[in-house]
Structure 1
Amino acid sequence: MTRTYVVTGAASGIGKATVEHLRAQGHTVFGVDIRDTDIIADLSTDDGRASLVEQANRLSGGRLDGVIAVAGLVAPKPITVRVNYFGAKATLESLQPLLTKSDAPRAAVVASMGALTEVDDDLLALLLADDEPGAVEAAERLGTTTLATGMSPIYATTKNAIARYVRIHAKDDQWSGAGIALNAIAPGVIETPMVAATLATEEGRAAMAEGAPAPLNGPAAPPTAPAALLAWLTSEENSFVTGQIIFIDGGAESILRPELV
């Protein structure tokens, strides 16, 4: 059975691969990005988020079977807070009414293995309190600060927060109560232009292997791998998986915290 999807971050990386995967299966997909796709919308702004809803509603005829929030940034800037958490959350929540018209509604969001690293507690609290102005101010204070891993605490904290959103809210009336499965994936290193230069050198691959060890086919996966996982999670077949953060990282999470089951 063909389905109708909205996929954000559709112009590149995992988002683009997901759009291509779903279309190859015969589904109708409306891509969302700031360029080169069906719906042009800037998810860092209120106007862009409202435009997403208007265009998605019009193009889909008011009914969606799947929503996949992929759009994200790694820059150590306040805009990363706006896109990675508030933009993703707005995508899920504002398109939820369109999902309720489906017989098998599903939603998914992309978190990151980076959510396992140290986070900024003040920023995390503001994100989970849904305080966008306060979170943006906190990100401005953090600036280009880096963690011991070299990762931006802004990026790590936003990805941790969106994963927590899924864990906290998947059980709610808005999601499970409406028959909507809500899950997240947490990719490790993915072969995208963002990491191409690092993967091109022996030193870069060694650094990645230390921070994100991937014994299964590492050090990086093609974007088609997370795309296929997102497609299954938002398929009609997935009738019982919800509230999960599924790591697609070549085994890194199991190495970094083996005590968790």
Structure 2
Amino acid sequence: MSRVVAVTGSASGIGAATAALLRERGDRVIGVDRAGAGVDVVADLSTAPGRAEAVAAVTDLTGGVLDGLVTCAGLSRAGAPQVSVNYFGTTEVVDGLRPALAASSAPRVALVGSISAIQPHDAALVDACLAGDEPAALVLAEAALTDGRSHEIYSSTKAALSRWLRRVSVTADFAGAGIALNAIAPGVVLTPMTAELVSDPQWRQVMDRAVPMPLNGYASPETIAYALAWLLSAENSHMAGQVVYVDGGAEALARP
């Protein structure tokens, strides 16, 4: 059954792989990104106006009926923009497209989380995100940059996203409307964002210690795309608020 699916971050990495897989399966994909091949909606999800523009454009292109949404847009470079894109660029787009999803007969949302959500993070930053206070969250992220905790910004955005998922997935707005909202949490994925780190022997050792992946090592974007595609499927009728770790066993080692 052909479905209409929007994919944020569709120009590269996991987003591009997911968009390609869904198109191969016969789905109509609406790509959302700042630029690039296969992008139907050009939008900057680091800003509130950009998020609103993305929501309006996707809603218009779908005629107000959206079967699936995958949120792959994200930043790995440490800095305050990670907060704006990784957390607010995800949650506000999901919320904004909720009416179009509710109009589908089998609506599904798949977020891209991360194994980093279970790693050390800034509790105050997570709380600011969950409170919807983007200005405060940005201030806290800048503070983390200046006092040597830049690595906590990314993990904080993913921890906040995981908690937001658990909070809203079972509400009347989502579960009550038949919208299955879940997430995939990858380990290390071989994308343009990780290419520089993987190619550096020292950084590779750091990653291997932080995210040990005994089952088949680093993942390809396509590996994550297959998992996301299942969460989007009409057959996935009863999963809500779940974070599925596609990480080669890293989460099992971290939390045995």
TM band (smaller chain)? over 0.9
Q: Secondary structure at the match of 1:164?
A: helix
Greater shift, 98-107 or 132-141, is seen at 132-141
Q: Secondary structure at the match of 1:221?
A: coil
- Cα offset for 1:205? 3.5
Change (3 A) 1:205 1:152: closer
Which residue identity lines up with residue 167 of structure 2 in the other structure?
Answer: I
Equivalent pairs counted in the alignment come to 254
Per-residue CA distance 1:56-79 (angstroms, 9 max, x = gap): 011111110001111111222111
- Cα offset for 1:125? 1.2
The match for 2:250 is 252
User: Distance in 2 between the 1:188 and 1:116 partners?
Assistant: 11
- Cα offset for 1:168? 1.2
Matched, 1:122 2:121: no
- Cα offset for 1:197? 3.0
Which residue identity lines up with residue 122 of structure 1 in the other structure?
Answer: A
Per-residue CA distance 1:93-142 (angstroms, 9 max, x = gap): 00010011111000111111011111111111111111111111111222
Q: Secondary structure at the match of 1:90?
A: helix
User: Distance in 2 between the 1:199 and 1:138 partners?
Assistant: 29
On the 8 A contact 1:43/1:49 being kept in 2, the answer is yes
User: Distance in 1 between the 2:237 and 2:207 partners?
Assistant: 35
Which structure 1 segments of 5+ residues have no match?
A: none
User: Distance in 1 between the 2:131 and 2:51 partners?
Assistant: 19
Pick aligned residue for 2:223 from 222, 225, 229: 225
The match for 1:20 is 20
Matches within 5 A, 1:110-259: 110-143=112-145, 145-146=147-148, 152-218=151-217, 220-258=218-256
User: Distance in 2 between the 1:87 and 1:202 partners?
Assistant: 33
The match for 1:29 is 29
Change (3 A) 1:121 1:227: same
Pick aligned residue for 1:88 from 87, 90, 99: 90
- Cα offset for 1:203? 4.2
Which residue identity lines up with residue 134 of structure 2 in the other structure?
Answer: E
Q: Between the two proteins, what is the percent identity of the paired residues? A: 46
Q: Secondary structure at the match of 2:31?
A: strand
User: Distance in 2 between the 1:205 and 1:75 partners?
Assistant: 16
On the 8 A contact 1:63/1:98 being kept in 2, the answer is yes
Which residue identity lines up with residue 223 of structure 2 in the other structure?
Answer: A
Per-residue CA distance 1:210-248 (angstroms, 9 max, x = gap): 111111100x10000111111110110101111101111
Which structure 2 segments of 5+ residues have no match?
A: none
Greater shift, 73-82 or 5-14, is seen at 73-82
Which residue identity lines up with residue 33 of structure 1 in the other structure?
Answer: D
Greater shift, 207-216 or 156-165, is seen at 207-216
User: Distance in 2 between the 1:90 and 1:145 partners?
Assistant: 29
On the 8 A contact 1:213/1:251 being kept in 2, the answer is yes
Pick aligned residue for 1:43 from 38, 42, 45: 45
